[in-house]
């Protein structure tokens, strides 16, 4: 008679949260002395490993940590495969790697590691398993970047940040990934800062987007791009890249919500059939970008007829793609109308809520199109009215950039310089003796409402836009 198998051992209970103190990570809340450090709670969660939870609530833009230490840079090739990296300055990491038994030789050489090789030969002839070293880089590295400030003429940036390097730190690397992050890393001069980009509750886990500066958010002119956003494959591809790069399956709220249900709950409907028909991938002839704009506009027409909310996924992505086509076709006024719809009507009500950094990127694009379109708008604007709008947008951009990235950041300093130049300009200069700051805010609200009416907004949409709260 076969023996009865022993029951499986119970899973170990999650470790209790451990208060940890970061000697190099300090926060200076307004109600505390500058020397008071911020305490974090360290958690271990099955499936995601270590994580950090803040003990205090934080508002968007609040600095959570500051790190002053040397940076070790990895320069990544554009359009490279998984293991195509240019490694420079391995000597700076010798102590870190020695402690893990991965590297005990000195090298300063630039080495290109091919995916099929995955091994490195140093100047002494020793061979090292590059995958192990790479995993240590990926696990303990924090990608840093500078935000892009302007758009290039009529062509938008699909990625709003320029990756500049990687900071290695055993503490900060414990912050887990989320496709809807609560924090962002900002590199201000010699200081790496962790800043909140949404309201964070006391005890809530801190998260960042690991692929915020990677190529996973780039788009190309392909008939399959819109369809992949429509059926959710674009997000699935992003999840697969995260798993290939960092070795985990994302379990954030966005990914868990998309795991067992479609992104778009209209499968088999009229609009779904239209998308499948319009964006059927054809090898011959190759798709042309100019052919896509009428199809996208047709989708929006059907969506309006079926009363589908603009805030539904993936209509936000479709609007962004429409704006890009309009800009590249020199339809600046149309691109401005689409930008106004995105910033005032779609993004404020989007689910999941967009972080402050993404809203700021959208504001930068909107301000550029306002400046490009002021001479061709079908409105009777006075010179003073145009100056008020442009000045108000620069003021809003300057204030939000300081909140998001810090007053001492390069991007805030650049925008402050632009704002000072605007104040000294002839138009604004002539008003300085006539209009005080309060009058400028009221005039800005009046002129912006006028612009929204030109863009097709009704009075209820204008009310919800809360123009009076912008400045």
Nearest to 179 by CA among 152, 201, 208: 208
Q: How far apart are CA 202 and CA 177, in angstroms?
A: 19
Q: What's the chain's average pLDDT?
A: 66
Give the pLDDT score at 105. 34
Q: How far apart are CA 406 and CA 421, in angstroms?
A: 21
Provide the whole-model pTM: 0.69
Q: How far apart are CA 462 and CA 94, in angstroms?
A: 58
> Which of residues 384 and 118 earns the better pLDDT score?
384
Confidence of residue 113 (pLDDT cuts 50, 70, 90): very low
Beta pairing, strands 74-76 & 63-67: unpaired
Residue 162 in this model has a pLDDT that exceeds 70: no
Nearest to 422 by CA among 391, 468, 459, 462: 391
Per mean pLDDT, which of 159-173, 202-216, 275-289 is the most reliable?
A: 202-216
Give the pLDDT score at 457. 92
Give the pLDDT score at 269. 65
| Virtual torsion, Cα 445, 448, 450, 453, nearest 10 deg | -120
Q: At 302, which helix (H) or strand (E)?
A: helix 292-305
Half-sphere exposure of 450 (CA within 13 A, CB side): 17
Residue 87 in this model has a pLDDT that exceeds 80: no
The string of pLDDT tens digits covering residues 316-342 is 878 888 888 888 888 888 999 999 999
The string of pLDDT tens digits covering residues 346-398 is 888 887 788 888 888 888 888 888 888 776 655 566 777 777 888 888 888 88
Confidence of residue 424 (pLDDT cuts 50, 70, 90): low
**Cβ(222)–Cβ(237) below 8 Å:** no
> ∠ CA 82-83-87 to the nearest 5 degrees?
130
Residue 84 in this model has a pLDDT that exceeds 50: no
Beta pairing, strands 207-208 & 176-177: parallel
Confidence of residue 273 (pLDDT cuts 50, 70, 90): confident
The pLDDT of 235-243, averaged and rounded, is 79
Strand-pair partners of 93:
none
**In 10 A of CB 54, how many CB atoms?**
24
Q: Where are the domains of the chain?
A: 74-216, 308-469
The string of pLDDT tens digits covering residues 40-50 is 677 776 666 77
Give the pLDDT score at 55. 82
Mean pLDDT check: name the lowest of 219-228, 269-278, 309-318. Answer: 219-228
**Cβ(108)–Cβ(93) below 8 Å:** no
């Amino acid at each position: 008679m076969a023996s009865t198998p022993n029951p499986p051992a119970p899973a170990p209970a999650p470790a209790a949260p451990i208060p940890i103190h970061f000697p190099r990570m300090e926060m200076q809340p307004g109600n505390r002395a500058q020397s008071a450090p911020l305490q974090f709670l360290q958690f271990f969660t099955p499936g995601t490993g270590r994580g950090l939870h803040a003990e205090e609530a934080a508002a968007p833009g609040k600095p959570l940590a500051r790190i002053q230490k040397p940076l070790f840079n990895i320069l990544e090739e554009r359009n490279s495969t998984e293991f195509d990296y240019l490694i420079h300055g391995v000597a700076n990491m010798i102590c870190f790697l020695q402690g893990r038994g991965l590297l005990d030789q000195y090298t300063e050489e630039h080495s290109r590691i091919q995916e099929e090789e995955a091994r490195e030969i140093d100047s002494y002839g020793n061979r090292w398993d590059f995958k192990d070293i790479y995993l240590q880089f990926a696990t303990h590295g924090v990608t840093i970047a500078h935000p892009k400030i302007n758009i290039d003429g009529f062509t938008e940036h699909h990625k709003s940040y320029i990756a500049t390097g990687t900071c290695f730190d055993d503490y900060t690397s414990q912050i887990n990934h989320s496709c809807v992050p609560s924090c962002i890393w900002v590199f201000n001069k010699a200081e790496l800062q962790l800043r909140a980009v949404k309201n964070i509750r006391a005890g809530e886990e801190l998260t960042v987007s690991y692929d915020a500066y990677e190529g996973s958010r780039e788009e190309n002119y392909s008939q399959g791009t819109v369809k992949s956003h429509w059926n959710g494959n674009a997000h699935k591809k992003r999840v697969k890249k995260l798993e290939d790069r960092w070795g985990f399956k994302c379990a954030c709220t966005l990914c868990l919500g998309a795991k067992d249900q479609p992104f778009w709950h209209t499968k088999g409907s009229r609009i779904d059939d239209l998308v499948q028909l319009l964006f059927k991938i054809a090898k011959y002839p190759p798709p042309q970008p100019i052919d896509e704009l009428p199809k996208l506009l047709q989708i929006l027409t059907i969506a309006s007829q079926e009363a589908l909310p603009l805030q539904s996924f993936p209509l936000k992505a479709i609007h962004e793609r429409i704006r890009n086509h309009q800009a590249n076709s020199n339809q600046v006024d149309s691109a401005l109308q689409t930008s106004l719809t995105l910033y005032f009507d779609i993004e404020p009500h989007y689910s999941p809520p967009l972080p402050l950094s993404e809203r700021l990127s959208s504001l930068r694009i909107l301000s550029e199109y306002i400046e490009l379109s002021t001479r061709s708008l079908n409105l009777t604007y006075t010179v003073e009215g145009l100056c008020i709008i442009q000045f108000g947008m620069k003021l809003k951009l300057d204030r939000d950039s300081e909140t998001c990235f810090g007053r001492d950041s390069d991007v805030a300093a650049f925008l402050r310089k632009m704002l000072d130049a605007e104040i000294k300009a002839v138009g604004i200069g002539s008003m300085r003796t006539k209009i005080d700051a309060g009058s400028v805010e009221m005039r800005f609200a009046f002129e912006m409402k006028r612009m929204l009416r030109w863009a097709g907004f009704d009075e209820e949409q204008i009310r919800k836009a809360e123009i009076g709260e912008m400045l």
